[in-house]
Amino acid sequence: MEKNDSTWEKNKQPNLTICPKHFCFFWHEKGDSVAKGMYANVEKAMGNLVKVGKSQCGFQYGRCARNQQVEGARDFYEPCEPALEKAGLPDFYFNDPNWNKSEEDRDAYNAYFGIKE
């Protein structure tokens, strides 16, 4: 089943094997203009824009484990804060709980999802 904004349950932990698509910084929607690679400045990047032909993961330095089109070895998810905020989701919503870096982050994650340690 394809997930979209209306099917993510706000206070239920998401399945981390499902790509969150536009909630990830690396997701490219069909028709987007992107500059692949690294550039010295914004002007050079803007001069190398190409149109995206199909919606897909745009991470170019490895295969993400959440990308169901390919088998990946690592989770490269990076939160897209504007999309998360628009949907009313916290910036940590799709984060792997095992990667919470601080006690404060872990406490916020657990409180949001109602997890008791």
- Locate all alpha helices (DSSP H) within the chain, ordered by sequence: 42-46, 81-87, 103-113
Contacts of 110 (CB under 8 A, 6+ apart): 97, 116, 117
The single-letter code of the amino acid at 54 is K
Q: What is the mean pLDDT of residues 80-97?
A: 93
pLDDT at 64: 86
Query: Using CA atoms, how far apart are residues 32 and 50, in angstroms rounded to an integer?
Result: 8
Per-residue model confidence as pLDDT tens digits over 18-47: 899 999 999 999 999 999 889 999 999 999
Nearest to 22 by CA among 75, 84, 109: 84
pLDDT at 69 over 90: no
Global pTM value? 0.81
Give phi and psi for 115, each to the nearest 5.
Answer: -90, 130
pLDDT at 3 over 60: no
